[in-house]
Chains A and B, each alone.
Chain A
Amino acid sequence: MAALALAAVAIAQPPGGVVRPENEGSLRPLELGAQLFAANCASCHGPRGQGVYPPPFQHGASGIKGAGPSLLGVGALAVDFYVRTGYMPLGDPTREPHTNRDLWNARERRALVAYVASLSKGPPVPHPDPAAGRLAEGLQLFTERCSGCHQVAGEGGVVTGARVPPIQHVAPQEIAEAVRTGPFVMPAFSQKDISDGQLNSIIAYVRSVGRHDSGGWGIGHVGPIPEGMVTWFVAVVVLIAVCVVLGTRLKAR
């Protein structure tokens, strides 16, 4: 399973991973950001982040077919999200992005965020406060707006053409960023729709689900599929074993 996940990630990343300048350590953040951007992002987002709208596709480094939305106005919020998760750079723009947290280090991330934010005004990196949220409000909002894709306990799901990841263990800041920016085919919920206070509640709820299962082993919080597996692979197996011990077996004639 881990191997499959790694293989999928490898397809989504550009061949050769991230291109970094050799004198990385000595560059100032904005300079570093500009260089990383030019080497890894410009093929799809344009040299000044104005976007590349096919046709035609722009052909970039390592034979990448470049196409991507404009980054003007996305702000530090979106860049921090996509870089932190490793969703970007995306090797094939038609593919779903995959998580790779080892792709960029913190310094590189801050550099990229500073650079793209400098290109135009946009929303800053959010600082949610889940402790100020209310669990009951979080459950209601999450069920109405999010559970259709993410499953009511945040265990992830399916939408036609995309895989929705589980989110119970995602950091609060990342949840906040995802909600506001709407990665890939996720809707983007603005502050007018989900206020910062409501977002705190949602984050508090998501992080609390499955932390304490009153019924025992939570078996994935998705209901009947793992329950059926326990029924057959635990209960039926044990009870058949008891029957075998109690009864005789047929000897070969």
Chain B
Amino acid sequence: MRRRSETVVAMLLFACAGCAIAFVVFYAIDRLGRNTQVMGLALGGALIFLAVALMVTAARLVVSEELEHDYPEPEHPEEQQAIEQVVAESGDRLTRKRLLKTAAGLAGGAVGAALVVPAASLGPVVSSAPLYDTPWRRGLRLVDDKGRPWRALDIEPKNFYTAYPEGADRDLIGSPLVVIRLDPAELHLPADRAGWAPQGILAYSKVCTHAACAIALFRTPKFEPTQPRPALVCPCHYSTFDPSRAGEVIAGPAGRALPQLPLYVDPAGVLRAAGNFSGPVGPSWSGVRSGKAT
């Protein structure tokens, strides 16, 4: 029986070697070297053969009688005492232990603090003011991702568009907007936002106020009486915002309404920002509501 196991192990080891050599050979052949499945089978196969060979060795070929061994001593009271004594005696020559201890503690604490302080260079810690910054200003044109300006007549109903501030970095949290056109008669914006939506064209920040994902879904009913109302939805945790009601949250975990950007249509028919957002853009942080978008 042992002889048979030995043969089996030898065969497995040869198979392992074969697969490993195959791996090297395939690597050299361009077409096979780029075939992830073939390469994976070769290398993985080699290792599996090796594994089985070792397992058979463990089960049949090596002596694996069990031995008994003492668990180590739970503790060493004599040595513990000796250490304690050495430490206690070390202060024998000192006459003003408390003074030295205080001074040493102060020095240690101060050096430790000093070493940690440069970590503040990682980023400015103190103020949250920059979190309110957005690149939008009154008069900036809304452009698409290729830089072409959006005109009011480009914005058709039953569709949604992404807009960015002209000349600004598209990848800032304050940059992307989702722009839609609703029937002005269906809008219920607060009084201080009258005129924010020319011809019913609304612009909201595209970044969810829950956890900063892009609000890339627009639920667009074709028959309002029986279908769910229009809504901007976030694909991460499904926060749902009502664009006809100033971006208020109607479902999902977001705690803050979606900030709206006021628009106007310039004489050339291009959409422009009429100011900054109605509120801070992006995910909430402590104190967020007490400031305004800047």
Q: Hey, which bits of chain A sit against chain B, CB under 8 A? A: 53-54, 67-69, 93-94, 144, 147-149, 157-162, 182-190, 192-193, 214-216, 242, 245-246
Contact = CB atoms under 8 A, between A and B. Distances in A.
Given A144-B162, A160-B251, A246-B55, A187 B218 contact: yes
B266 interface: no
Q: How many B residues touch the partner, as a band?
A: 35 or more
Interface string B248-259: 000110000000
25 contacts: A54-B226, A67-B223, A67-B226, A94-B226, A148-B215, A149-B235, A157-B235, A158-B235, A159-B233, A160-B238, A160-B251, A160-B252, A162-B219, A184-B222, A184-B227, A185-B228, A186-B220, A187-B158, A187-B218, A188-B159, A190-B159, A214-B36, A242-B55, A246-B55, A246-B58
Contacts of B27: none
A160 B162 contact: no
Contact of B220 (A54, A182, A192): A182
Among all A-B residue pairs, the 4 with the closest Cβ atoms: A148-B216, A161-B228, A93-B226, A148-B217
B226 A188 contact: no
B272 to A, nearest CB: 21
Interface of B: 36-37, 40, 51, 55, 58, 145, 154, 156, 158-162, 214-223, 225-228, 231, 233, 235, 238, 240, 251-252
Contacts of A159: 217, 219, 233, 238
B222 A69 contact: yes
A53 B220 contact: no
Given A148-B235, A246-B55, A161 B156 contact: no
B22 to A, nearest CB: 18
Given A148-B235, A193-B156, A54 B221 contact: no
Contacts of A184: 221-222, 227
With a 10 A CB-CB cut-off, give which of A69, A158, A187, A215 has the most chain B CB atoms. A187
A52 B156 CA distance: 24
